[in-house]
């Protein structure tokens, strides 16, 4: 895994940066992709299926209301640092308004995605998986 990460960063000339330097919405932007990849990997691991079924199942995990529920399942195991990052993401003012989500769920989902993005940029991959697995149980 570390070999892949090193190759990935070297090939794309990605420099290590303190994730706290990024805005919470930038953390959420990258966290959204990481979360989506983990969920898609989990769904595919459950068995081969038509793509539309895979998409439907994935969507049930990645929508704002599902992410808000997931956060409630993991909130009690977050560190103080993780909770601060989550709150920064949750409280960030986004220029977009959710079409199919309650505003509170959307904000909680943004906070969760910011946390995932932060952990990703800190190379805390095991923690990402630990939180997501517990959250989707």
How confident is the model at residue 95, as a pLDDT? 78
Radius of gyration of the chain (CA): 15
What pLDDT does 78 receive? 98
Q: Quick check: pTM over 0.95? A: no
| Environment class of 80 (CB within 10 Å of its CB; exposed 0-12, middle 13-18, buried 19+) | exposed
User: Which tens digit of pLDDT belongs to each residue from 45-91?
Assistant: 999 999 999 999 999 999 999 999 999 999 999 999 999 999 999 99
The pLDDT score that the predictor gives to residue 101 is 84
Active site residue ranges: 32
| Domains in the chain: ranges and CATH | 23-136 (1.10.1520.10)
End-to-end CA distance of the chain: 25
From 58, 4, 14, 6, select the one nearest 36 (Cα to Cα).
58
Place of tokens 């529920």: 69
What mean pLDDT do residues 82-108 have?
90
Quick one: pLDDT at residue 132?
Answer: 97
């Amino acid at each position: 895994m570390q070999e892949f990460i090193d190759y990935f960063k070297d090939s794309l000339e990605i420099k290590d940066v303190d994730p706290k330097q990024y805005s919470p919405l930038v953390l959420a932007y990258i966290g959204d992709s990481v979360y989506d990849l983990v969920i898609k990997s989990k769904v595919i691991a459950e068995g081969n299926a038509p793509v539309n079924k895979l998409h439907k199942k994935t969507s049930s995990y990645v929508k704002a209301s599902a992410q808000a529920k997931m956060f409630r399942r993991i909130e009690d195991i977050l560190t103080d640092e993780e909770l601060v990052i989550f709150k920064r993401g949750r409280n960030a003012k986004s220029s977009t308004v959710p079409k199919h989500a309650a505003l509170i769920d959307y904000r909680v989902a943004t906070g969760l995605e910011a946390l995932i993005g932060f952990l990703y940029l800190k190379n805390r991959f095991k923690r990402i998986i630990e939180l997501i697995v517990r959250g989707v149980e």
